[in-house]
């Protein structure tokens, strides 16, 4: 099997250079002016720095950004996220110019399976349907039948079972925690899961959840299914140790929907423990100032996401650098599973195991 990515495999947690308020204001104005000049739309993932989210036209999770990249009319997309996300936008819209402000903004999860490894796995399971998380390279997607994100992994697997019958064998990867969540939700015996992981989410351990549960009894839990704690939380739910009412297994976009619903409902102040990358807290606190959001692990920062800074975004738009190019033959094959994922849409309120 593969070597698991470990925290050391990611770039060292370098502090993002702090900009003064005057610098932030000037750079933001420069970025907006350049975007208008270039006919560019700025897309930003929910984990991006607050100043990047502030200049973006569209902010969202990986599924929403894939859908928006295809829908927007602008000829240039400045993608503030990690490389596989920009690559996905380029595959869906080959006629558009997709820029990423730092081409080295990678993803440890995407690095946990290569095209050669996937081909080897498929050779051992002839006839199986391959589902790969969108956090993969275009070469891996080119060998894939369906992509999925955290927002629709269960819906994609249920669709395949409906289409191919209950005996279908499914190869699911590369995230083992998301895979184990999908296996529990669907109960499908033919689901095989690759043992890859994201170093940030795998680092949010069951012990983190135990500590925050102790410190904040009665709080809600918002958990990204990539988390190392997700399996244990599902076990708590199944055993009745944690009340299902307050546990939400969500994509980053689903977490924002939760915050908006809390705010709309008003009422008494709630506390929610957030198990995902800490950049998420900015958007959540903006969406619901009346809710107290507490990180499950304050160290859970994705250094790849934080490689995208305002000066780099300004330079990319000014010089039209960081253009993402996917070879045509790979892009044509990779488009099929991505389009299937986009057309299936989001999970539709699938209850947690034990509910
Ligand atoms: P979402 O699909 O929830 O946006 O997550 C993407 C990601 O990279 C999680 O780390
Ligand atoms: Fe990849 Fe993990 Fe960073 Fe998400 S948080 S982009 S999965 S390394």
The reported pLDDT for the residue numbered 11 is: 47
Is the domain of 257 the same as that of 221? yes
The reported pLDDT for the residue numbered 238 is: 66
The reported pLDDT for the residue numbered 266 is: 80
For residue range 51-90, list pLDDT tens digits in order: 999 999 999 988 789 889 989 999 999 999 999 999 999 9
> How many whole angstroms separate alpha carbon 24 and alpha carbon 50?
11
Is the domain of 47 the same as that of 101? yes
For residue range 99-118, list pLDDT tens digits in order: 999 999 999 999 999 999 99
Higher-scoring residue by pLDDT: 355, 201: 201
The reported pLDDT for the residue numbered 14 is: 52
- What range does the domain containing 98 cover? 12-106+304-324
For a ligand 1 pocket test, name from 251, 275, 280, 308 the mutation site with the most ligand atoms within 8 angstroms of its C-beta: 251
Cα of 300 vs its chain's centroid, Å: 14
The whole-model pTM stands at 0.88
Question: How are strands ordered across the β-sheet holding 129-133?
Answer: 146-148, 129-133, 170-173, 191-193
Is the domain of 333 the same as that of 193? yes
- The percent of residues above 90 in pLDDT, for the chain, comes to 69
Is the domain of 92 the same as that of 131? no
Look at residue 28 and give its three-state secondary structure. helix
> How many whole angstroms separate alpha carbon 230 and alpha carbon 199?
14
Is the domain of 178 the same as that of 231? no
The reported pLDDT for the residue numbered 3 is: 31
Assess whether the C-beta atom of 252 lies below 6 angstroms from ligand 2.
no
Average pLDDT on 289-303 reads 94
Helices and strands, number each (H, E), in the chain = 15, 12
The reported pLDDT for the residue numbered 282 is: 92
Residue nearest to atom 6 of ligand 2 (CA): 107
> Is residue 4 in some structural domain?
no
Average pLDDT on 195-218 reads 88
> Is residue 7 in some structural domain?
no
Residue nearest to atom 7 of ligand 1 (CA): 62
Domain count, the chain: 3
Assess whether the C-beta atom of 304 lies below 6 angstroms from ligand 2.
yes
CA of 63 to the centre of ligand 1 (A): 8
> How many whole angstroms separate alpha carbon 313 and alpha carbon 336?
30
> Is residue 342 in some structural domain?
yes
Is the domain of 74 the same as that of 120? no
The reported pLDDT for the residue numbered 15 is: 58
Is the domain of 209 the same as that of 140? no
> Is residue 354 in some structural domain?
no
CA of 109 to the centre of ligand 2 (A): 6
CA angle (271, 275, 280) in 5-degree steps: 85
**Is it the case that residue 4 has pLDDT exceeding 50?**
no
> Is residue 308 in some structural domain?
yes
Is the domain of 154 the same as that of 177? yes
**Is it the case that residue 236 has pLDDT exceeding 80?**
no
Is the domain of 127 the same as that of 146? yes
CA of 167 to the centre of ligand 2 (A): 32
**Average pLDDT of the residues of the chain:** 89
The reported pLDDT for the residue numbered 10 is: 44
> Is residue 124 in some structural domain?
yes
> Is residue 312 in some structural domain?
yes
Q: Which atom of ligand 2 is nearest to the CA of 81?
A: 6
| Least confident among 86-95, 207-216, 310-319 | 207-216
Is the domain of 291 the same as that of 234? yes
Concatenated DSSP letters of 67-125: HHHHH---SEEEEES-HHHHHHHHHH-TTSEEE-S-TT---TTGGG--HHHHHHHHHHS
Is the domain of 122 the same as that of 102? no
> Is residue 353 in some structural domain?
no
**Is it the case that residue 353 has pLDDT exceeding 50?**
no
**Is it the case that residue 185 has pLDDT exceeding 90?**
no
**Is it the case that residue 246 has pLDDT exceeding 90?**
no
Is the domain of 101 the same as that of 115? no
**Is it the case that residue 20 has pLDDT exceeding 60?**
yes
The CATH number of residue 268's host domain is: 3.40.50.10800
């Amino acid at each position: 099997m593969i070597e698991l990515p470990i925290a050391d495999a990611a770039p060292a947690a370098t502090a993002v250079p702090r900009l003064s308020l005057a610098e932030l204001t000037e750079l933001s104005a420069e970025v907006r002016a350049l975007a208008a000049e270039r006919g560019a739309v700025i897309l930003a993932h929910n984990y991006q720095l607050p100043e990047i989210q502030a200049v973006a036209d569209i902010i969202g999770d990986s599924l929403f950004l894939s859908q928006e990249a295809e829908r927007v009319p602008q000829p240039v997309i400045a993608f503030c996220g990690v490389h596989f996300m920009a690559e996905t936008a380029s595959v869906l819209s080959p006629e558009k110019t997709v820029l990423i402000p730092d081409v080295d903004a990678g993803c440890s999860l995407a690095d946990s399976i290569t095209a050669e490894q996937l081909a080897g796995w498929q050779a051992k399971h002839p006839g199986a349907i391959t589902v790969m998380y969108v956090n993969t390279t275009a070469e891996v997607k080119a060998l894939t039948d369906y992509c999925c994100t955290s927002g629709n992994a269960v819906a994609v697997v249920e669709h395949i079972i409906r289409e191919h019958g209950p005996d279908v064998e499914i190869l699911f990867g590369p995230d083992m925690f998301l895979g184990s969540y999908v296996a529990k939700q669907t109960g499908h015996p033919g689901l095989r899961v690759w043992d890859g992981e994201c170093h940030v989410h795998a680092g949010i351990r069951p012990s983190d959840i135990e500590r925050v549960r102790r410190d904040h009894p009665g709080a809600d839990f918002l958990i990204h299914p990539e988390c190392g704690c997700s399996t244990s939380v599902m076990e708590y739910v199944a055993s009745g140790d944690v009340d299902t009412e307050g546990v939400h297994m969500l994509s980053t976009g689903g977490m924002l929907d939760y915050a908006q619903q809390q705010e709309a409902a008003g009422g008494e102040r709630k506390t929610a423990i957030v198990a995902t990358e800490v950049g998420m807290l900015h958007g959540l606190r903006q969406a619901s100032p009346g809710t107290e959001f507490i990180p499950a692990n304050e160290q859970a920062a994705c250094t790849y996401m934080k490689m995208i800074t305002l000066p780099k975004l300004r330079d990319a738009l000014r010089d039209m650098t960081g253009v993402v190019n996917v070879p045509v033959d790979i892009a044509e094959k990779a488009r099929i599973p991505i389009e299937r994922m986009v057309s299936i849409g989001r999970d539709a309120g699938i209850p947690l195991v034990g509910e």
